[in-house]
């Protein structure tokens, strides 16, 4: 290939990586794509240590978690992002190549009565732009946070679920929050104690670090999370966050589950809140 063609393919890959990064949350939240990611990360692979194959297997997700030292939720979040960025590159490269083949016979064009020659390297970029135009109405290249579009009464759902939480969580309780950024529902609770660094969820999460120093500046890590879980009276999960070590913790017999809320966003089933109360 000529340098011009190589450069155009490099541009396509870089643009596809950027598009994949900007749309990964939307696309990986689609049920079928989420299932594909789940199956991929569940594929067993041989265990390798110091270049030697060991007995037993480990999943891709387990490998990432062990190598990076992240907790399950963070590993899954970052893993989904990486998976879809690579998927976007695959779609972009294959789609661009197919369209290039369709354009191969159009080396000359008659425009306004003049014959022009399309540079060979330009076919790559032209094909990619056509692919983008074809996929622009979809979530793949257009992205968009369409889950904000809901024809149901979201405010009424918050009011109803806030009142429900207030009925089941008495004043003076300590509450562990893993409900995402839907914090408005917590305003209905009276005289309860929270762990404020959790309010910004993964955006204030850090891997490792000194727990005391992190807490001073409103950050948290897994060590702090485990400590807070041991101190709390109630643990609140968003449906979509019901994974990882905390799930195992609430199922160890020390907690009893109260009936979950209905979805905070009536248009998204995964926005209900699971409520776990520590046994007396």
pLDDT at 115 over 70: no
Least confident range from 33-47, 141-155, 250-264: namely 141-155
Burial class of residue 103 (count of CB atoms within 10 Å of its CB; 0-12, 13-18, 19+): middle
Name every residue whose Cβ is closer than 8 Å to that of residue 187 and which is 6 or more positions away in sequence: 162
Least confident range from 2-16, 18-32, 116-130, 177-191: namely 116-130
Beta bridge partners of 110: 115
Q: Which residue has the higher pLDDT, 229 or 148?
A: 229
Over residues 233-255, mean pLDDT:
84
pLDDT at 111 over 50: no
Over residues 19-24, mean pLDDT:
82
Percentage of residues in the chain having pLDDT higher than 70: 82
Q: Which residue has the higher pLDDT, 145 or 238?
A: 238
**9 closest CA partner among 127, 142, 132, 133:** 127
pTM of the model: 0.58
Provide the pLDDT for residue 24: 78
200 and 142, same domain (yes or no): no
186 and 205, same domain (yes or no): yes
pLDDT at 60 over 50: yes
167 and 32, same domain (yes or no): no
pLDDT at 172 over 90: yes
Provide the pLDDT for residue 188: 94
The crossing angle, in degrees rounded to 10, of helices 120-135 and 3-28 is 10
- Please tell me the total count of domains within the chain: 2
Beta bridge partners of 115: 110
146 band by pLDDT with thresholds 50, 70 and 90: low
From 94, 115, 148, the end of a domain falls on: 148
185 and 208, same domain (yes or no): yes
* Per-residue CA distances from 89 to 9, 16, 80, 122 (Å): 11, 5, 14, 19
172 and 121, same domain (yes or no): no
24 and 68, same domain (yes or no): yes
- The mean pLDDT of the chain is 82
Name every residue whose Cβ is closer than 8 Å to that of residue 245 and which is 6 or more positions away in sequence: 71, 72, 222, 226
Q: Which residue has the higher pLDDT, 66 or 175?
A: 175
* Per-residue CA distances from 50 to 43, 47, 53, 144 (Å): 22, 10, 8, 44
Over residues 205-212, mean pLDDT:
87
Q: H-type helices in the chain, by residue range?
A: 3-28, 31-41, 60-68, 72-103, 120-135, 139-142, 154-168, 211-216, 222-231, 245-250
143 and 158, same domain (yes or no): no
Q: Count CB atoms within 10 A of the CB of residue 67.
A: 9
Least confident range from 62-66, 122-126, 128-132, 143-147: namely 143-147
Least confident range from 54-63, 69-78, 146-155, 175-184: namely 69-78
pLDDT at 68 over 80: no
247 band by pLDDT with thresholds 50, 70 and 90: confident
192 and 144, same domain (yes or no): no
129 and 218, same domain (yes or no): no
192 and 143, same domain (yes or no): no
From 103, 120, 148, the end of a domain falls on: 148
119 and 168, same domain (yes or no): no
Token digits of residue 188: 């209905």
Provide the pLDDT for residue 129: 87
From 127, 148, 169, the end of a domain falls on: 148
Token digits of residue 151: 């024809």
Q: Count CB atoms within 10 A of the CB of residue 227.
A: 14
**106 closest CA partner among 93, 117, 98:** 117
199 and 76, same domain (yes or no): no
Provide the pLDDT for residue 112: 47
Spatial contact of 35 and 78, defined as CB atoms under 8 Å apart: no
* Domain of residue 183, residue span: 154-278
Local structure of 150: helix, strand or coil: coil
């Amino acid at each position: 290939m000529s340098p011009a063609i190589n450069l155009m393919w490099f541009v396509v890959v870089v643009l596809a990586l950027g598009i994949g990064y900007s749309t990964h949350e939307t696309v990986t939240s689609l049920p079928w794509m989420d299932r594909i990611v789940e199956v991929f990360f569940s594929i067993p692979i041989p265990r390798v240590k110091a270049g030697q194959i060991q007995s037993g297997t480990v999943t891709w997700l387990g490998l990432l978690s062990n190598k990076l030292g992240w907790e399950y939720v963070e590993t899954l979040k970052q893993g989904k992002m990486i998976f879809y960025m690579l998927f976007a590159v695959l779609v972009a490269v294959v789609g661009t190549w197919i369209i290039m083949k369709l354009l191969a016979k159009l080396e000359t064009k008659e425009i306004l009565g003049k014959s022009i020659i399309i540079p060979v390297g330009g076919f790559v970029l032209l094909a990619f732009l056509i692919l983008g135009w074809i996929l622009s109405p979809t979530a793949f290249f257009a992205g968009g946070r369409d889950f904000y579009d809901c024809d149901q009464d979201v405010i009424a759902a918050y009011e109803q679920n806030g009142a429900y939480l207030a009925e089941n969580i008495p004043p003076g309780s300590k509450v562990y929050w893993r409900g995402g950024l839907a914090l408005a529902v917590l305003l209905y609770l009276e005289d309860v104690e929270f762990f404020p660094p959790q309010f910004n969820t993964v955006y204030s999460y850090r891997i490792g670090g000194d727990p005391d120093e992190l807490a001073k500046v409103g950050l948290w890590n897994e060590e702090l999370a485990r400590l807070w879980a041991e101190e709390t009276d109630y643990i609140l999960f968003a449906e979509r966050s019901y994974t990882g070590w905390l799930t195992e913790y609430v199922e160890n017999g020390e907690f009893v589950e109260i009936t979950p809320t209905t979805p905070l966003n009536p248009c998204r089933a995964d926005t209900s809140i699971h409520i776990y109360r520590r046994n007396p």
